[in-house]
Amino acid sequence: MKRISTVFGKSHQYYKQLGKQYSNGAFLPGCEFTPSTYKGASYEAIVKSRECLVMATQKPFYKKPVLLHEGRAQWLWDHEGRRYLDMFGGIATVSVGHCHPKVVTALSEQSYKLGHTTAIYYHPRYHEYAEKLTSTLPSELKCVYLTNSGSEATELAIQLARLYTGRTQIVALKNCYHGGTGIAAATTAMACYKYPLPTLPGHIHVTNPDVYLGPWGGSNCRDSPVQPGNRRCDCLPNKCEAEDKYFEEFQSIYKSLIPFDGKIAAFTAESIQGVGGTVQYPRGYLKRVYEQVRKAGGLCIADEVQTGFGRTGEHFWGFEGHGVRPDIVVMAKGIGNGYPLGAVVTTLPVAQALSKALYFNTFGGNPVGCAVGSAVLDVIEEENLQENARIVGTRIIEALAELQGEFPDVVGDVRGKGLMIGVELVADAETREPLPADQVAQIFEDIKDAGVLIGKGGVNGNVFRIKPPLCVTKEDGEYTVDALRSALKKHRESRRF
């Protein structure tokens, strides 16, 4: 991998004096931007404030949490001037890069012109943005409702489905994450996000079609550059046995869990599970489920909160990779590049069901949010970021697969598409038992110390999540894999003693 001899015109020795910023002895890829000097509260004051004033559930990453100060493109700087390669993008939220000039300009100019008005008045930004957003979707999906978050968008989508169908049952997959509020939390099926409170009724969860951890799956089941290396399948050409088995499991809910006429309001699924650990399904699974749901009069909801806006590379929307057309699309995160924005897009008949009462959001569709969302769409197109996600993401996935070959005893699976990538760590490659939390935490810490920020996910917290801004380069990807390699080598050495 190419090494950069200087960073910001500073020597290697300068950065070593900062406290061994790069524990693997390598330099981060170059960056021309010079951050400002941090002049805020001390680290100690921030820690104390966090402990006293912020709810304890908002737990930061790392043994010594990072205090971030400034960001540009794929880069972040902490309060001491250390530079980090952001390979998590604020949980797949920073889509076009931190503080992108075009997005910042759109936000600033609109703020000076008209900062806020609600949907009780017309303003041109909403309608301009709605046209631009829906032009990326199938022609039937033309009705937009803008929200402030993905959780709110999920709530609205489910409410729409129930109002339109006149039914209540929502079917989702185990291991899914659709949000943390009310209905969205009830739809979510991960124990770590469940409080010891009564769950709202009307939610059914079916077997998750996970071809790596699930009961069925093999070496050619998912739409990814790499397949589960330690699982072989006996599938016939163009016929996936895992797909058949998981679909049979889905059909069984009609015999055991759906009351009365066997009809449901909706089925909802992420195109690739995000918080659940970048889990991909058998190639034809969603298409068959959509067909089954529609036969029973239900609607199909695509959760594109993490997979939308070009992140999967091959397509602008994750559901396109499954060959399906949803009735409702839920989106957030990358839609606003970090600005609090979400959306529900659906057909006109479904949208009209919301007219049975008043539904109102004070901030949804505000002029600034619309200007930001519009600028994000422009940048994705102008800078060809979807194609960049495909090219760079594929190379990262392939390089991680090579890394798995070097560390087969701990890297159980590498998966994903575009810049939606997961690396599952295991204690036993055959049983796929998850690597203990303390060991995962140390590897995670060592990657951070090498100057790379990634995420964690999965029900056991043993899946590294790589979901960077779409502007990352091949060199960034190479450095990321190198940082993982160094951390895994250190882990291997520690286990020898």
CB of 427 closer than 8 Å to CB of 433 = yes
The stretch 142-152 carries a mean pLDDT of 97
- pLDDT at 8 (0 to 100): 25
Indicate whether 415 belongs to any domain. no
* Confidence at residue 33, expressed as pLDDT on a 0 to 100 scale: 93
pLDDT (tens digit per residue) in 220-229: 899 999 988 7
Q: Is pLDDT of 10 > 70?
A: no
Model confidence at 13, pLDDT cuts 50, 70, 90, reads very low
Q: Residue 25 has what pLDDT?
A: 64
Rg (Cα) of the chain, in Å, rounded?
23
Where in 271-309 does DSSP place strands (E)?
A: 299-303
Render pLDDT for 429-471 as a digit per residue (tens, 0 to 9).
Answer: 999 999 999 999 999 999 999 999 999 999 999 999 999 999 9
135, amino acid identity: S
- Residue 258's pLDDT band, with cuts at 50, 70 and 90, is confident
Per this entry, what is the length of the chain? 497
Question: Quick check: is 421 in a domain?
Answer: no
The rounded percent of the chain whose pLDDT value lies above 90 is: 83
Q: Give whole-number Cα distances, 7 to 36, 71, 84, 114, 378, in Å.
A: 15, 16, 12, 40, 31
Can you tell me the distance from the alpha carbon of 22 to that of 225, in angstroms, rounded to the nearest whole number?
30
Q: What is the mean pLDDT of residues 185-202?
A: 93
Q: 24 in a domain, yes or no?
A: no
Instruction: List, in sequence order, every beta strand (DSSP E) within 176-303.
Output: 203-206, 266-270, 299-303
Within a domain: 343: yes
pLDDT of residue 23: 57
pTM over 0.75: yes
pLDDT tens string 416-428: 999 999 999 999 9
CATH code: domain of residue 280: 3.40.640.10
Each residue of 318-328: pLDDT tens digit?
999 999 999 99
pLDDT tens for 84-109 read 999 999 999 999 999 999 999 999 99
pLDDT in tens, 276-286: 999 999 999 99
Q: Does the residue 323 lie in any domain?
A: yes
- Average pLDDT in the chain: 92
Task: Please give the C-alpha separations between residue 294 and each of 22, 174, 206, 245, 264, in angstroms, as whole numbers.
Answer: 53, 21, 17, 20, 9
Does 1 score more than 60 pLDDT? no
264 pLDDT band (50/70/90 cuts)?
very high
Residue 228's pLDDT is 87
Report residue 386's pLDDT band, with 50, 70 and 90 as the boundaries. very high
Confidence of residue 233 (pLDDT cuts 50, 70, 90): confident
Average pLDDT, integer, range 153-163: 98
Average pLDDT of the residues in 114-134: 95
Q: What is the mean pLDDT of residues 183-209?
A: 94
How does residue 495 score in pLDDT terms, banded at 50, 70 and 90? confident
Cβ-contact 87, 454 below 8 angstroms: yes
Least confident of 233-242, 344-353, 367-376: 233-242
> Residue 18: its pLDDT value, please?
36
Angstrom distance (rounded) from CA 89 to CA 106 = 21
Q: What percent of the chain has pLDDT over 70?
A: 94
Distance in angstroms (rounded) separating the CA atoms of residues 55 and 139:
44
Residue 334 lies in a domain: yes
What is the pLDDT at residue 497? 63
Segment 281-308 shows an average pLDDT of: 96
Task: Quote the domain boundaries for residue 131.
Answer: 101-382
For residue 242, being part of any structural domain is answered with: yes
Place of tokens 């001899």: 5
DSSP letter (8 states) at residue 320? G
Query: What are residue 301's DSSP bridge partners?
Result: 268, 328
Q: Judge whether 125 lies within some domain.
A: yes
| Tally of domains in the chain | 1
Residue 375 has pLDDT above 60, yes or no: yes
